[in-house]
């Protein structure tokens, strides 16, 4: 005897070729609240601070250069790389060179410097202006010794750091000395908007 064909009114999973019945009403998409701040920004600051923690454990000293040192989000100091590095333990970094172009950022950097405890042999120098020209002055001055371990953070927002500046920093020390370690962050999130703005200026 042939099996009975399921009728059109039969809503069982077998009749519809499904493993289980579907709900009568599809629930609306679950909406999550917007993040308070970008996760990658906080992770990035913590990565830099953690890297320098191990850096000084090996070198026992060091120079820190920050080309764009002001906080990208002043309302969230836990994401401020310069602050995290200054306050990291052990406090073996000797010399800090912090640069920024903005007057407001310079005020924040000065306040940060004044909030730090005195550490023997530590200097914190803050420079206002275009990092590309200011860092050239710093390297020409010879303040960064060839024997001093050095780390440079280039965390630009768009195209602030010129490639010639990166080359200059990378080639500063002699072949027999450790190079200045460079952390160069490419602002991928800003790239489409930045490139679009450049094209508009060229037209």
- Residue at 139 is within a domain: yes
- Residue at 27 is within a domain: no
Q: Residue 202 above 70 pLDDT?
A: no
39: CB partners within 8 A, 6+ apart:
none
| Domain CATH number, residue 195 | 3.40.50
Please list the alpha-helical segments (H only) found in 60-187. Answer: 81-87, 103-115, 131-141, 163-170
* Residue pair 121/94 in contact by the 8 Å Cβ criterion: yes
- Residue at 179 is within a domain: yes
Residue at token pair 């037209």: 203
Most confident range, picked from 9-23, 69-83, 87-101: 87-101
What's the pLDDT at 192?
Answer: 57
- Other Cβ atoms less than 10 A from the Cβ of 17: the count is 6
- Other Cβ atoms less than 10 A from the Cβ of 58: the count is 8
Give how many domains the chain has, as a whole number. Answer: 1
- Residue at 138 is within a domain: yes
What's the pLDDT at 142?
Answer: 92
Task: Report how far residue 166's alpha carbon sits from residue 164's, in angstroms, rounded to the nearest whole number.
Answer: 5
What's the pLDDT at 8?
Answer: 47
- Residue at 67 is within a domain: yes
- Residue at 1 is within a domain: no
Task: Report how far residue 46's alpha carbon sits from residue 36's, in angstroms, rounded to the nearest whole number.
Answer: 17
* Residue pair 81/48 in contact by the 8 Å Cβ criterion: yes
Place 77 in a pLDDT band, splitting at 50, 70 and 90: confident
pLDDT digits (tens, 9 = 90+) for 150-168: 999 999 877 789 999 999 9
- Residue at 28 is within a domain: no
pLDDT digits (tens, 9 = 90+) for 126-146: 999 999 999 999 999 999 999
| Structure tokens, 128 | 């206002």
* Residue pair 98/68 in contact by the 8 Å Cβ criterion: no
What's the pLDDT at 84?
Answer: 93
Task: Report how far residue 77's alpha carbon sits from residue 82's, in angstroms, rounded to the nearest whole number.
Answer: 10
Which residues span the domain enclosing 108?
39-202
Closest CA to 83 of 48, 56, 123, 118: 48
């Amino acid at each position: 005897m042939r099996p009975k064909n399921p009728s059109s009114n039969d809503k069982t999973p077998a009749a519809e070729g499904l493993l289980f019945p579907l709900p009568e009403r599809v629930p609306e998409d679950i909406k999550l609240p917007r993040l308070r701040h970008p996760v990658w920004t906080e992770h990035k600051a913590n990565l830099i601070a953690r890297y320098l923690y191990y850096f000084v454990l090996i070198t026992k000293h060091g120079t820190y250069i920050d080309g764009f040192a002001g906080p990208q989000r002043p309302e969230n100091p836990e994401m401020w790389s310069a602050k995290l590095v200054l306050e990291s333990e052990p406090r073996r970094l000797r010399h800090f060179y912090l640069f920024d172009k903005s007057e407001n950022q310079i005020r924040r950097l000065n306040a940060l410097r004044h909030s730090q405890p005195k550490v023997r042999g530590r200097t914190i120098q803050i420079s206002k202006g275009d990092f590309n020209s200011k860092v050239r002055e710093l390297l020409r001055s010879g303040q960064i010794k060839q024997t001093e371990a050095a780390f440079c953070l280039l965390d630009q927002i768009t195209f602030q750091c010129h490639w010639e500046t990166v080359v200059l920093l990378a080639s500063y020390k002699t072949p027999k000395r450790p190079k200045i370690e460079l952390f160069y962050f490419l602002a991928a999130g800003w790239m489409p908007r930045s490139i679009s703005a450049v094209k508009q200026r060229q037209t």
